Structure 1
Amino acid sequence: MAEHSAYPVGLRLAGRRVVVIGGGQVAQRRLPALVAAGADVLLVSPSATPSVDAMAETGEIRWERRRYRDGDLDGAWYALIATRDRVANDAASAEAEARRVWCVRADDAEAATAWTPATGRVEGVTVAVLSGNDPRRSAAVRDAVVEGLRDGSLTRNRPRTPGVALVGGGPGDPDLITVRGRRLLAEADVVIADRLGPRDLLDELPPHVEVIDAAKIPYGRYMAQEAINNALIEHAKAGKAVVRLKGGDPYVFGRGMEELQALAEAGIPCTVVPGISSSISVPGAVGIPVTHRGVAHEFTVVSGHVGPDDPRSLVDWASLAKLTGTLVVLMGVDKIGLIAEALVRHGRPADTPVAVVQEGTTATQRRVDATLATVGETVRAAEIRPPAVIVIGEVVNVAAPAGPAA
């Protein structure tokens, strides 16, 4: 008999009875999608994985703690059979056939009346791939399509939605931007980019995309915030899809709210895409956890762009000195000596470990270690330049330090 291909269809299971037999790893993988589809899920199994158990505890599914018995598929629209008991699987499969219930079998695809495709979801689009009995090929094709949708390579020519997206690009490594941020970048007509954003991604943009340098280089030429706001408004009003590509997260010392407020006043729609903050990712890139059991139960992130004695400073350095957790200082390279002196003056021990990480997550990343007593001179001697993240606290010594500066 000639082999027939499967007929693809999307099942609408909201409010409909679905029976899952077996509470192991297969069920753990499949149940979330069934719950997301709104199915009324009944699990029949004497045991379950902790994750499946948690779903039952929270009421996402109903769980009858027993083995399968005839009649369990009564009223079901769909069944997933996933036990290690071949006899039980055959019996449940036979009941599904008799009741005309679409049935997936984890142990024997040929004995099933339905197959589960390799699926992925991106921005409201569901990708489902079937390739017969070759699940690895299905997954590979699914992954390629999903990645193309996420990074925009499969949708570059689709109609663009005018407006602005404030995209947090992460700490510098282009692989650390969110998938949503990368997709919006691929769909942009205009990109207004910071120096601290993932600059390598700009090379991937099509030639027609206008790239505007909004670099705020410390102690050098910069584009005033008002000019950035005006550029965002001007291009958005011209009907362009505009991406404001920022380093880290737009709202962590990124002035993202100022830009959002300017756009709102101009009646420009704006999407905010969070990014990975350098305050967490850069220490992690050099082996420093900002919290660690038995060492630090909290971490505090502060801006060091003005010194402790500057009347413009909003940081309570005296209170910070009394904390025992981790202190992460951003934009504080040239003020770290003054910051360290203030912390020691207010009670933080002078031998508190400090790590300074320059250009973290990039190819030019480097780390130097010091203490509060020595960090000012160490930074000067090592010629550390912005951008750099400064970590203060015992977490610096959780892993072996990197040694002297390169």
Structure 2
Amino acid sequence: MPVLVMKFGGTSVANLDRIRRAAKRVGVEVAKGYDVIVIVSAMSGKTNELVGWVGETSPLYDAREYDAVVSSGENVTAGLMALTLQQMDVPARSWQGWQVPVRTTSAHSTARILDISPDNLMAKFGEGMRVAVVAGFQGVSPEGRITTLGRGGSDTTAVAFAAALNAERCDIYTDVDGVYTTDPRISSKARKLDRIAYEEMLELASLGAKVLQTRSVELAMRYNVKLRVLSSFEEQSDDAGTLVCAEEEIMESNVVTGIAYSRDEAKMTLLSVADQPGIAAAIFGPLSEAGVNVDMIIQNISEDGRTDMTFSCPTDQVARAEKALKDAVAAGNIDYGDLIIDGAVAKVSAVGIGMRSQSGVAAQMFRTLRDEGINIKVIATSEIKISVLIDRKYMELAVQALHDTFELDKVG
């Protein structure tokens, strides 16, 4: 039988009533003739509770035991979902990551999937099982220990299973009914997209849109897995939600597909840095080793052998970045005159595959911000993206204005 993967996030399985609702959706797909892999997250709030307990028990915790604890939330949900399906006379079994097995690296709490062997699942399907309820977010290391994939890892689990079992589609059920042109909470004109290209979804996810985890989109693009984002709380039709697919499957689209934002950004500037070969590596190497996620980078014109270097990073990584830079100075690897930190900025981005063949998008974006009296602090571009750093207080105004400028409320 054809295989379908269905993933239910924490809000979709937050209590027994919601688990029953999700199970009914699974039952509908089984009735259509699918063998179904159901990937479940922990109940809403449960992972945070487990993480809190670990921190309270052992502030300098053993990462292996951390994974053993926080992965248990998904195990509970998987068992309850399997029991609910059995009550509906749907042959179902729950599976933990190690039972499949989902083989991962040994990087506890940030493991990456190496391989999923479908043999055990396919054997059980052959014996009459119709639904395999798999605990998301977890796997097993080469040493035989439980590992977890990082927050949002259940999305990655779902896509990996769809690729491994050559599933017809991977449906991601969340608390939203699809991917929108921007956050509907900011712009009332935000429009749900019927389809979006992998590359556009990857950019939007990395730029702040929280509908899908970035790694799951990367995996879907690599293995050409069709993703569909749906709401757990609305009645579904065959064309519900948003399909994330190859660019070739989208007939026509706007030049700009969506406006993304990231509220919690910081701009850090090193003044009077020695302008010499290797200075960028000397600065950004320690930042990388400290786990600082550097985004935009601007280097000013050199004067008297000195230059200024500006970069952005999430606000919660500023202290880590500051320490890494000071340690690099103490080690004699770099020197600079001063470090200026602006922690009140936001990143706003326009994304669209149409930018490849359409000129003038950047000029239009910059004019719109100018007309709204919004000053641009940093600019970064790629083939299908333009991002700017602006004062955080203007973020919502910028999103609304750009959404209107590019007429994203209209189709094609």
Q: Assess same fold via TM > 0.5.
A: no
Q: TM-score, normalised by structure 1?
A: 0.27
Q: TM-score, normalised by structure 2?
A: 0.27
Q: Which one has a larger percent strand, Structure 1 or Structure 2?
A: 2
Q: Which one has a larger percent helix, Structure 1 or Structure 2?
A: 2
- Structure with the bigger RCO (C-alpha within 8 Å, sep 6+) is 2
